Structure 1
Amino acid sequence: MIDIHCHILPSVDDGAKDIVQSIEMAKEAEKEGITAIIATPHHMNGTYENEKAAVEYDVNILNTQIKQAGINISIYAGQEVRLYGELLQDYENNKLLTVNHSTHMLVEFPSSSIPAFAEQLLFDMQLKGITPIIVHPERNAAIAEDPDRLYKLIKNGAFSQVTAASVNGKFGKKIKTLSVQLIEANLTHFIATDAHNTTSRGFGLAQAYSEIDSDYAAYFQENAEAILAGQYIQKEPPHHVARKRKFFGIF
């Protein structure tokens, strides 16, 4: 299995605190059957900044240490980029990373909202040859309130990635239900761990794949393999999430 979203780099964000925790995470991932991890530290989220050159340097160091520890996992470079106005300018200035130098970039919304400029920026990214992957949309309050907001972005060319812990029910029943709805409506295209440690924010990728229909699981795994290899990703036509109808009694 391939994990395209993970905070395994040491001492760069709210993920692994040090190299010891990074190695522990790698060991845990190997036990689960993960063979490749995209290291995606937070970037420009208001707290952390991890530019391309620094991430690539840290990935090289971590790969060396993982091999020395006898762990059969390869780490690749990426970022979890919070949407911001100068994103494309910084990309052109070689400060931003796509997923393993592919044409896909992980992008993050604030947890409570979708920025007013998001639709235009995601469109402009595609004009520059970057396909945005919206991470953990199931944990965004605006999308939970109205999944059609995600539908529009996916219809316009973006991809999305749900979190394994969401599918596994670790964030509660409502988020699990929404995750399944997004999967069944073809509004998401990857499952990844967003792992930060081996305790409160672990991997759970194998469990997530077992929780869903095997056809979806195979599709998501094929997509992860394709993005790592820099290949084209087949996208199924998206559908609207069925909303519960409200009935009002007349008294």
Structure 2
Amino acid sequence: MKGLYDIHTHIIPHVDDGADTIEITKKILQMEYNDGVRTIFATSHFRRRMFEAPMEKIRQQYLQVQQAAKEIAPDLRLILGCEFHANLDMVETLNAGKRPTMGDTRFVLTEFSEAHDFRFIQERCYELISNGYEPIIAHAERYPVIRKNLEHLEQLVDMGAYIQMNADSISGVEGWGMKRFCKKVMKQNLLHFVGSDAHNTGDRKPQMGRCAQYMEKTMGREYADKILISNPREIIEEGR
């Protein structure tokens, strides 16, 4: 498949635990392009007391990544975003423009800790929604409170949250149990987006192509197109 979107990556060098150098970034971009990806969201971590790179530095480094993408192919598009680790001040931070949304839309890639309980996840999503934002829950399959109870995922979707799962979780790289859970989520039509969550070219490399093949085989071409192309395209083209 060509024209894929990868909505979750850590390819901006020197700003979080992702790419260490621009050379690694270039290799990741080439791997993505070879896999059929044509639009990539650069979503560096923002987490208090852990990942707090100044936005000036992020934007400066992002320009290098854009240049690297142009050198690989003219149709490889980069979009700035952020993986925002949920906290009590996130709406205030977003309203002040201190961290970017997904491509200047109202979508916010929102991360939680595995230790967070369901009430905290619900409350943070509700706060975002009630302030005009649209939370995309990052790698939702990772959170035990969601994996243990699929009804929690249904409740989050019903309240207006969107669900992103990682490509490697879906295709089985992260183990059979994770793959089985992801398949259940897809069968119940609770998945909206996929991201590689790529950090490097080794143990956390992008494998969107492998995921696309598995999704097409398991769920059909129409479903794969919807999740990997149509849904993320709406973020950019329509801003919902």
TM-score (normalised: structure 2): 0.90
SS in 1 for 2:32: helix
CA RMSD of aligned residues (A): 1.7
Q: Percent identity?
A: 26
Aligned amino acid, residue 215 of structure 1:
E
Q: Structure 1 residues 156, 53: CA separation in 2 closer, same or farther (over 3 Å shift)?
A: farther
RCO greater where, 1 or 2, for CA within 8 Å and sep 6 or more? 2
SS in 2 for 1:218: helix
Counterparts of 1:199-238 in structure 2, within 5 Å, are 199-212=202-215, 213=219, 214-220=221-227, 221-232=229-240
**Between Structure 1 and Structure 2, which shows a larger proportion of helix residues?**
2
Write out the 4+ residue segments of structure 1 that deviate beyond 4 Å after TM superposition. none
Separation of aligned partners in 2, 1:23 and 1:3: 15
Q: Structure 1 residues 134, 171: CA separation in 2 closer, same or farther (over 3 Å shift)?
A: same
Contact between 1:35 and 1:74, CA under 8 Å: does it hold in 2? yes
Q: Paired residue for 2:58?
A: 55
Q: Structure 1 residues 70, 146: CA separation in 2 closer, same or farther (over 3 Å shift)?
A: closer
When structure 1 is superposed on structure 2, of 212-221 and 107-116 the one drifting more is 107-116
- Per-residue deviation, 1:15: 1.0
Q: Paired residue for 1:135?
A: 138
Separation of aligned partners in 2, 1:96 and 1:12: 13
Separation of aligned partners in 1, 2:119 and 2:48: 16
Paired positions, count = 231
When structure 1 is superposed on structure 2, of 144-153 and 171-180 the one drifting more is 144-153
**Higher Cα Rg, which structure:** 1
SS in 1 for 2:117: coil
Aligned amino acid, residue 138 of structure 1:
E
Contact between 2:167 and 2:194, CA under 8 Å: does it hold in 1? yes
Aligned amino acid, residue 225 of structure 1:
R
Q: Paired residue for 1:236?
A: none
Separation of aligned partners in 2, 1:149 and 1:170: 25
Q: Paired residue for 2:107?
A: 104
Aligned amino acid, residue 39 of structure 2:
A
Residue 113 (structure 1) aligned with residue 116 (structure 2) = yes
Q: Paired residue for 1:150?
A: 153
Deviations 1:90-148 (A, max 9, x none): 11221121111111110011024336433222112112211000011111111111122
- Per-residue deviation, 1:223: 0.5
Residue 24 (structure 1) aligned with residue 32 (structure 2) = no
Separation of aligned partners in 2, 1:82 and 1:45: 8
Residue 88 (structure 1) aligned with residue 87 (structure 2) = no
Separation of aligned partners in 2, 1:209 and 1:227: 20
Aligned amino acid, residue 98 of structure 2:
K
Separation of aligned partners in 2, 1:118 and 1:70: 39
